Amino acid sequence: MLKETVNVSKWLEPQARFERIRFEALRRFGPKLCDLSYANAYDGPSDQLRQILHDAVDSERSLGFQYTPYGGATLTRRRIAESIRPVHDLPWHWEDVILTPGAMAALNVAFRAVKEQEGDEVIVVSPCWLDYPLYLENLGLKPVFVPVESKSMRIDLKAIEQAMTPTTRAIIFSQPANPSGVLFEERELRALSEMLRSAPSQPTLISDECHRDFVFDPHRFVSPAQFWEKTLVVYSFGKKLFLQGQRIGYLAVSPRHERRIELRQSAVQLCRTMGFCTPTALMQRAIPETLKMELDLQPIERRRQRLIETLPGLGYALRPSDATLFLYPRVPNRDAWFWTEKFASLGLLVLPSDVFHHEGHFRLSLTATDEMIDRALPIFAQALSEVRLGAEAEGRE
């Protein structure tokens, strides 16, 4: 065990506990396991993407696989900047876009860039993506959790206002939200921006947009970057392209940010200082072609629909997701770990809400195969009936 200089173990433990459950379930069920936990795309990337990757490998430029500059290859940054201008309605310049090996690195760079002093605070809207507090703690920043409104799962502006202090440097949330699947609305984001503008420390907004390509009708993605100048956008190509292991994403500094030039320079330096370097040369070369690809949402939408229609009838209350690769049902009773272990004992993997610093829910990933979902539905029913029978036998219900 490494000797810890900062106390990150409490943020590492929930996922480590889940990994032990996963390992045991894999050992017991092997390929029969229904894995609805992580967003691993069991269908794999599309044929079109495989062809783009082949073409990138076959290209004959002799320096094609050598180091690229910190921040990434200019051509790739330029193409990305062009492609996101209509997404945010902002005049992105290629230097605003700093390429990183996935969103994890971009998040670390963003957090480090907003830090002024040890112990500066960052508001984390929870439930949240699992490793935000881990990174913050490791960087000497203090995560301040502000839960969403418990019923609607929407952002709680009053609670955010109350949590802000003169040392609040940033606020982070994912839009659309992982794990809840909620897409915040324009009016909420506008109101949040107004609040940030009038706050004493004028915090930076870190908008994690890894799931913005997965939005279901009639919802529409809106980025907070459209309303608050001090926004840093974090994005990963891993989700849209279904190749999370290939590690390419970016941090983008809003063109309207008053410290735009300084921040984008320091982000490039931080990629070096923190040792993240750049995404691989191969992926940087492939990305411009992938930007032209249309995402086929049908398989995700089909699985989402199936689960939304079936789970409530089986006894699992559910707020239909607006977006993302996930559904986030409530647990019927007891805690989320109890249900995660129960499902795993029957051959079904889900992620408990504790991993997302939240209670009373579990997350299902729609990247499992249709066949896994077919097999998972009777397991949901069986788990609940076994628990009810067990409780009756003990005279508890």
Ligand X SMILES: Cc1ncc(COP(=O)(O)O)c(C=O)c1O
Q: Where do contacts with ligand X occur on this chain (CB under 6 A)?
A: 39, 102-104, 129, 174, 178, 208, 210, 236, 238, 244, 249
Q: ∠ CA(335), CA(179), CA(326), 5° rounding?
A: 105
Q: Which CB sits closer to ligand X, 135 or 380?
A: 135
At 197, the amino acid letter reads R
Q: What CA–CA distances, in Å, run from 365 to 87, 218, 355? A: 25, 21, 14
Q: Which CB sits closer to ligand X, 104 or 192?
A: 104
What is the nearest approach in angstroms of ligand X to the Cβ of residue 385? 33
What is the nearest approach in angstroms of ligand X to the Cβ of residue 312? 25
DSSP letter at 332 equals S
What is the nearest approach in angstroms of ligand X to the Cβ of residue 239? 7
What is the nearest approach in angstroms of ligand X to the Cβ of residue 174? 4
Alpha-helical runs (H) found in the chain:
9-29, 47-58, 74-88, 103-114, 132-138, 157-163, 186-198, 237-241, 260-273, 281-290, 298-314, 336-345, 370-393
Q: Which CB sits closer to ligand X, 212 or 285?
A: 212
Q: Which residues of 257-294 are buried (b: 16+ CB within 10 A; e: fewer)?
A: beebeebbebbbebbeeeebebbebbbbbbbbbbeeee
What is the nearest approach in angstroms of ligand X to the Cβ of residue 127? 11
Q: Which CB sits closer to ligand X, 250 or 337?
A: 250
Q: Which CB sits closer to ligand X, 250 or 380?
A: 250
What is the nearest approach in angstroms of ligand X to the Cβ of residue 102? 3
Distance from C-alpha of 14 to C-alpha of 358, rounded to nearest angstrom: 11
Q: Which CB sits closer to ligand X, 230 or 239?
A: 239
Closest CA to 260 of 204, 314, 186, 333: 204
Segment (H or E) for 365? strand 362-365
Which residue has tokens 């990963």?
A: 236
